[in-house]
Amino acid sequence: MKPDCIFTDMDGTVLGHSDYEYAPVLPVLEQLAEEGIPVVVNSSKTYAEIATWLEKLNLEPPFISENGGVIYLPSRAQGPIQAQVPIRAQVPAGNKQILGTPYPQIRAFMQQVREEFDWQFEGFGDMSVDRVVETTGLATKDAEQAMQREVTEPMLWHDSEESLEAFIQLAERTGLQVVRGGRFYHVMGQHDKAKAMNWLLTESGLLGQKQRENVCVVALGDGNNDRAMLEAADIAVVLPAGNFSSLEIDAKPDGYPKQVIYAQKAAPEGWAETVRRILKDLKGR
């Protein structure tokens, strides 16, 4: 037996926490490609950022950007999974499934409440590239890619706790949610990594004729925004978090996840080692 599909977070899961190191995962990705096991990147990063990483990792669509907000599918003409979509090319509208709220709509909400209440906050849409570099620590080119947003807006809050609460309530009334990340709040629609993963598994033809209950899905992540995805997989792999407060996920004998594995090492070694171990263990079944 082998996994039918692997869904993975990027930062702190495939990529090292501070150094973005990824060399140890390359031979494992090669092995997965040889065995025909698709690896689907499921990240909070933007399309532009993920596209750059897919080239480095030699991966292909489908992939999921902006916390489950957009799903990029392989070119239909070439069939699922094996398709060679030129990543840098514009993705045709039909090859993209949007689960999130369009960025201009999120920005319009933020502008409206700013004008009405004079609250002090800063979204990426308010920042220059230099300011994004300053607040994220990203290099200029990476900051430019991070600013090409489709369905989520990172925000720094410079006002009181009370006004933040009021902002969150107004956002929720508009159908949006405000998710607390490490450094930023994220203003976005009602989507998450699990909803996008399940859409790909059940609606996209990714699994061919197979039903969800007959396939083995492995998911890997390290952060709170990975929790739902890990809890919807057959085998959940938790990578140690950068701040040492790692996720705790329980296995459910009658549901998902059937098995939880805590990687001993951090990314990228932890990713490479654990996936190798899963492949070996499943082979014996």
Question: Site size for Mg ion, by CB under 5 A?
Answer: 5
Cβ nearer to Mg ion, comparing 17 with 195: 17
Given a contact cutoff of 8 angstroms between Cβ atoms, the answer to whether 226 and 218 are in contact is no
Cβ nearer to Mg ion, comparing 84 with 243: 243
Q: Which letter, b or e, does each residue of 13-22 get, where b requires 16 or more Cβ atoms within 10 Å of its Cβ? A: bbbbbeebeb
Cβ nearer to Mg ion, comparing 171 with 219: 219
Least gap, CB of 12 to Mg ion (angstroms): 4
Cβ nearer to Mg ion, comparing 8 with 145: 8
Whole-angstrom distance, CA of residue 31 vs CA of residue 251: 27
187 Cβ neighbours under 8 A, 6+ residues apart: 106, 109, 110, 123, 152, 153, 155, 171, 176, 177, 178
Indicate the residue type of 230.
Answer: L
| Binding window for Mg ion (CB under 5 A); candidates: 48-56, 81-89, 111-119, 220-228 | 220-228
Least gap, CB of 254 to Mg ion (angstroms): 29
Nearest CA to 66 out of 85, 88, 47 is that of 47
Per CB under 5 A, 192 contacts Mg ion: no
Matching residue, tokens 């979509």: 85
Per CB under 5 A, 222 contacts Mg ion: yes
Least gap, CB of 36 to Mg ion (angstroms): 26
CB-based closest residue to Mg ion: 12
Paired with 236 in beta bridges are: 219, 260
Per CB under 5 A, 49 contacts Mg ion: no
Cβ nearer to Mg ion, comparing 19 with 162: 19
Per CB under 5 A, 11 contacts Mg ion: yes
Per CB under 5 A, 150 contacts Mg ion: no
Whole-angstrom distance, CA of residue 9 vs CA of residue 91: 22
Least gap, CB of 11 to Mg ion (angstroms): 4
Choice from 61, 74, 223, 270 touching Mg ion (CB under 5 A): 223
Per CB under 5 A, 9 contacts Mg ion: yes
The number of beta carbons lying within 10 Å of the beta carbon of residue 66 is 28
Cβ nearer to Mg ion, comparing 177 with 246: 246
Per CB under 5 A, 16 contacts Mg ion: no
Nearest CA to 237 out of 1, 82, 14 is that of 14
Structure tokens at 67: 């916390």
Whole-angstrom distance, CA of residue 219 vs CA of residue 259: 11
Per CB under 5 A, 123 contacts Mg ion: no
Given a contact cutoff of 8 angstroms between Cβ atoms, the answer to whether 95 and 74 are in contact is yes
Cβ nearer to Mg ion, comparing 74 with 223: 223
Residues near Mg ion (CB under 5 A): 9, 11-12, 222-223
